Amino acid sequence: MKNWFKHSALGLALVLSGAVLASSQVDNFDAVKQKIQSTLGMKVSSIADSPITGLLQLETDKGLFYTSKDGKFLLQARVYNLDAGMRNETELALSKMRLAGVEEFKDSVIEYKAKNEKYVVDVFTDITCGYCRKLHGEMDKYNDLGITVRYLAYPREGLRGQTYKNMVSVWCASDPQEAMDDAKNGQTVASKVCENKVAEQYAFGQQIGVNGTPNIILPDGSLIPGYQPPNLLEQALKAL
């Protein structure tokens, strides 16, 4: 009986010790989060230990960052794991963020579906962007290769320009695909306002490092910045 009490007391002590450590860690995370948000005005959506001992990993509305555990130092960097063949740990984290965002917006994209669908890519687009229009002009070729294209909105001028208003009109049109076709061809789209996710998609793009259009998210969460001809995009998809 004495040994039972001894072991029970030890187990209870370990549990309580773990609870104290977990509580301390949460308190520290909250303190760092509040400091970053109040000092820099960035919204921190997630905070966790990073692959590097002594650093925390922050997911923010302005991208992925690292900070010292006291919140004193902030880093924006690429972290490579030499013991794992130079694995890009930062890109892995960003890929997860991209896939989570794609899932969140899957019902608010403008989709050009391939009849014989083999792949699905999500493309940040702007209706005034030259290379976005070039990509759009080859939509049949992408679709013929089995590539479904789903558009996410990324008005390059931000959320106060006329392009943003025009993109809202496209997303709010009774036939968004037709409105997108017209807009990409330089035609005027009838002004329309509705409940939409254009601003949220733009914010998502900023969060994962998009700073231009087109940007293509592949099924594994990796990102191709810029225009890709249909055959080269197909090769990239086959290589996944």
- Flag whether the pTM goes above 0.85: no
Same domain? For 144 and 232 the reply is yes
In a domain, residue 83? The reply is: no
Same domain? For 70 and 104 the reply is no
pLDDT of 63? 87
Cα–Cα distance between 176 and 101 in angstroms, integer?
21
pLDDT of 26? 53
In a domain, residue 39? The reply is: yes
Domain of residue 43, CATH code = 3.10.450.70
Same domain? For 71 and 141 the reply is no
Which residues are the active-site residues? 126, 129, 132, 156
Same domain? For 144 and 234 the reply is yes
Same domain? For 152 and 72 the reply is no
Same domain? For 50 and 107 the reply is no
In a domain, residue 133? The reply is: yes
In a domain, residue 36? The reply is: yes
Q: What is the pLDDT along the chain (240 residues), one digit of tens a residue?
A: 545 444 554 444 444 444 444 445 555 788 888 888 888 888 898 898 999 999 999 989 888 999 998 889 999 889 999 999 999 999 999 999 999 999 999 999 999 999 999 999 999 999 999 999 999 999 999 999 999 999 999 999 999 889 999 999 999 999 999 999 999 999 999 999 999 999 999 999 999 989 899 999 999 999 999 999 999 999 999 999
Cα–Cα distance between 210 and 11 in angstroms, integer?
49
pLDDT of 25? 53
Tokens matching residue 42: 């960035």
pLDDT of 153? 98
Same domain? For 10 and 48 the reply is yes
Q: Where are the alpha helices (DSSP H) in 138-185?
A: 139-144, 162-172, 176-184
Q: Sheet containing 119-125: which strands, arranged edge to edge?
A: 110-112, 147-153, 119-125, 215-217, 223-225
In a domain, residue 68? The reply is: yes
In a domain, residue 90? The reply is: no
Total of domains in the chain: 2
Same domain? For 209 and 175 the reply is yes
Same domain? For 128 and 66 the reply is no
Domain that holds residue 50: 2-77
Domain of residue 135, CATH code = 3.40.30.10
pLDDT of 36? 87
Phi, then psi, of 81 in degrees rounded to 5: -100, 105
- Encode pLDDT of 171-189 as tens digits: 999 999 999 999 999 999 9
Cα–Cα distance between 66 and 165 in angstroms, integer?
35
Q: Which of these, 9, 107, 25, 101, lies nearest to 64 by C-alpha position?
A: 101
Same domain? For 6 and 122 the reply is no
In a domain, residue 94? The reply is: no
The tally of CA atoms less than 13 A away on the side-chain side of residue 119 is 25
Same domain? For 31 and 145 the reply is no
User: CA-CA distances (angstroms) from residue 201 to 128, 155, 158, 176?
Assistant: 17, 10, 11, 16
Same domain? For 30 and 112 the reply is no
| Tokens 């229009």 sit on residue | 133
- Encode pLDDT of 108-145 as tens digits: 999 999 999 999 999 999 999 999 999 999 999 999 99
